[in-house]
A and B are shown apart, each in its own frame.
Chain A
Amino acid sequence: MESMLTLLWPEIALFITTCVVMILGQSKFKDTRDLCPGLAAIGLIVSGFLAWYFRGVTSDAVLPHLPYYGKLVICGVGLMLLMLVAGSADRELEADAAKGKPFEPIRSTRGEFYSFVLFSLTGLMLCTSANDLILLFLALELTSLPTYVMVSISTNRNRSMEAGVKYFFLGALGAAIFLYGFAMIYGGTGTTNFEDISRTVAAQAAGGGINPLVILGVVLSLVGLGFKIASVPMHFYTPDVYQGSSSSVAGFLAFVPKAAGFFAILSICGLVGWSHGVTEQSLPEGPRVLLWVVAALTMTLGNVLAIMQRSVKRILAYSSIAHSGYMLVGVIAGPGPSGADFERNGIAAVLFYLVSYGVMTIGAFAVLACLEKKRSDGSLDEVDDIDDLRGLARTRPVLGWTMVLSSMGLLGLPPLLGFLGKLPLFTAGIGAKEIILVLVLGINSAIAAYYYLRLAYTCFIESPETTPNAPKVVEAPFAARRWAGVISMLCVVGLAVFGSWLGNLAEIGATYRPPKYVQPAAAVVPVSAPTP
């Protein structure tokens, strides 16, 4: 119990910051209101420090070091996300206030917006330290619920409302499905504690086979969690929601729910363990086949549909779907033989790729968030069409290069971060003898080249728009977003060269402690009912 509390210090720090930010956002004074993003950043840094300070504390789930790795990277990527979303809320209201109108706290969404960002990140951290089905369910909901509101309030347009409602309804459906799965896992094992569940499942597997209820539960949980990571059959909301929300919030959605989904999927798969099948190194047949089919379909569908899009946000949404498919290969491969190094360890590959995907996609969304279209009547609109990016590397070199490097990174071009992340997925897949799936992964990486190269080509080689009536592309007045893009660009190059420490960290995070089969204690004799 004591160690569980120590484990939760980063979440506690973040939660306290959340409450303070929510109150400060309603302040009458502009200086106080402007403290919100800075305070949120300080909260994230403090909680990252706490995660590092308590690095020796392990959770008693099957992935004992996941909280340490997870919380550190959540704080790092969370800071970038904070820079990306900074300034989204209350833009019109602040403009009015600058003109001398009194500030109306009731119409303000600034406090809520920043605290929802932090709430969502707190939930994400809780997903890593969850050691119980109840806690995992609550953590997943805490991650998702704030994002539904963030989508709805991200812009004033009808599109955002529609996106928010779509996202919410499908999110509720996904939550109901994985909740039912959790209920089945509880039914099949009689406990909600991860350690006890994995021990019971190991005992069942040793003695005649896993309870079918557990398998059904795991399958349902994986389908429900598919909503969070945007995998087939729960993927179709993704392009609509990304397009409907503002670019910065879309960048948030690309990382946070996906990371939560993958942490949860790794925990759930860890419950049944990668010690089944012919090689004794794969998941039980039911979940394995499900994940195999879902992974293959997800990456193929994502990449093929991305080719046909013109809207950059939709392209990035389909790319997000495809990347979930890639990462599922690592989940199927599992931890490999005990003591496997980074190349054979699928879990380490997933954890590493999650961070690299987050960093790269934040760069792409930051470029979109930095630009605005000015129509002839003076109204501002978001940059979304791929033509708006033409010649960006010439007109705005920093943004243009960020876009080029992000899309090349997402493509997985060799010297960049994406390649470094994708390689272990391939090797882990081959190590687990999933040759066909690895082939699908390879073919998909080739298909993906088409639209990533198109993004890079548009920015880099095509000449800027010169038609007189075309809407003018101007820069949005948010310096922080530009910095988010620059940091992402530096990471895409820098982590590829100096990324071995992150790889080592991912390897620590992926430490897998297979459940020990213990001789069951003598069954508790049920107390017989007194007969009247």
Chain B
Amino acid sequence: MNHMLMPVLAQGPAPELMSGVTLYHYLAVSGAMFVIGLIGFMTRRNLIIMFLCTELMFQAAGIALIAFGRFHLNHSGETFVIFVLTVAAAEAALALGLVILLFRRKETLDGTRWTELRG
């Protein structure tokens, strides 16, 4: 019975408030988030902000995946997002560990202060 119900729910009329929202709106938001994250990564030098920018890019992909999942009426996109969230959490743990290690050595979060490796 669930089998029959699922497409109905997925394709049923959206609530009034969101009635005009299509796949393209979600993709626009996701694309904007991705580009903002990319630009932030290139321009900012604070390690935590740089990490947040990569997180922004991960979540942009997540939004796109969920929007596509709804568009194609299957759950692969949502499944993917659950795994992405797990990986993002693992990366966050790693990033905080590394940043704390760095901070203990030089008491700064500025990436440009670490310039031992140049060639």
List A residues at the B interface (Cβ < 8 Å): 133-134, 137-138, 141, 145, 148-149, 152, 158-159, 161-166, 168-169, 172-173, 175-177, 179-180, 182-184, 186-187, 190-192, 239-240, 243-244, 309, 311, 314, 526-530
In the bound complex, do residue B54 and residue A162 qualify as a contact, i.e. CB atoms below 8 Å apart?
A: no
8 A-B pairs with least C-beta separation: A176-B57, A190-B72, A240-B117, A187-B68, A172-B54, A183-B64, A179-B61, A180-B61
Contacts of A137 in B (CB 8 A): 80, 83-84, 87
- Quick one: given A138-B83, A145-B91, A172-B95, are A165 and B47 in contact (CB under 8 Å)? yes
In the bound complex, do residue A186 and residue B65 qualify as a contact, i.e. CB atoms below 8 Å apart?
A: yes
Contact partner of A173 (CB less than 8 A), chosen from B47, B54, B72, B79, is B54
B81 CB, min distance to chain A CBs, angstroms: 9
Q: A134-B80, A176-B37 are in contact. List 8 more A-B contacts (CB 8 A).
A: A168-B95, A169-B50, A172-B95, A187-B27, A191-B72, A191-B74, A191-B76, A240-B117
In the bound complex, do residue A180 and residue B64 qualify as a contact, i.e. CB atoms below 8 Å apart?
A: yes
Bound: A137/B62 CA distance, A: 13
- Quick one: given A149-B94, A190-B74, A240-B119, are A165 and B83 in contact (CB under 8 Å)? no
In the bound complex, do residue A187 and residue B98 qualify as a contact, i.e. CB atoms below 8 Å apart?
A: no
Contacts of B107 in A (CB 8 A): none
In the bound complex, do residue A173 and residue B65 qualify as a contact, i.e. CB atoms below 8 Å apart?
A: no
Residue B116 is within 8 A (CB to CB) of chain A in the complex: yes
A183 CB, min distance to chain B CBs, angstroms: 4
Looking at chain A's contact residues, the main secondary structure is helix
In the bound complex, do residue B119 and residue A309 qualify as a contact, i.e. CB atoms below 8 Å apart?
A: yes
In the bound complex, do residue A173 and residue B80 qualify as a contact, i.e. CB atoms below 8 Å apart?
A: no
- Quick one: given A184-B64, A527-B8, are A179 and B58 in contact (CB under 8 Å)? yes
In the bound complex, do residue B76 and residue A145 qualify as a contact, i.e. CB atoms below 8 Å apart?
A: no
In the bound complex, do residue B105 and residue A161 qualify as a contact, i.e. CB atoms below 8 Å apart?
A: yes
> Which B41-84 residues have a C-beta within 8 angstroms of A?
41, 47, 50-51, 54, 57-58, 60-61, 64-65, 67-68, 71-74, 76-77, 79-80, 83-84
Residue B32 is within 8 A (CB to CB) of chain A in the complex: no
Contacts of B111 in A (CB 8 A): 165
Total contacting residues, chain B, CB less than 8 A: 50
Bound: A450/B63 CA distance, A: 49
Contact partner of A172 (CB less than 8 A), chosen from B51, B73, B74, is B51
Contacts of B41 in A (CB 8 A): 169, 173
Contacts of A162 in B (CB 8 A): 102, 114, 116-117
Contacts of B2 in A (CB 8 A): none
Contacts of B13 in A (CB 8 A): 529
In the bound complex, do residue A186 and residue B51 qualify as a contact, i.e. CB atoms below 8 Å apart?
A: no
- Quick one: given A177-B57, A180-B34, A529-B13, are A168 and B98 in contact (CB under 8 Å)? yes
In the bound complex, do residue A529 and residue B116 qualify as a contact, i.e. CB atoms below 8 Å apart?
A: no
Bound: A177/B38 CA distance, A: 9
B110 CB, min distance to chain A CBs, angstroms: 12
In the bound complex, do residue A134 and residue B7 qualify as a contact, i.e. CB atoms below 8 Å apart?
A: no
A401 CB, min distance to chain B CBs, angstroms: 28
In the bound complex, do residue B76 and residue A186 qualify as a contact, i.e. CB atoms below 8 Å apart?
A: yes
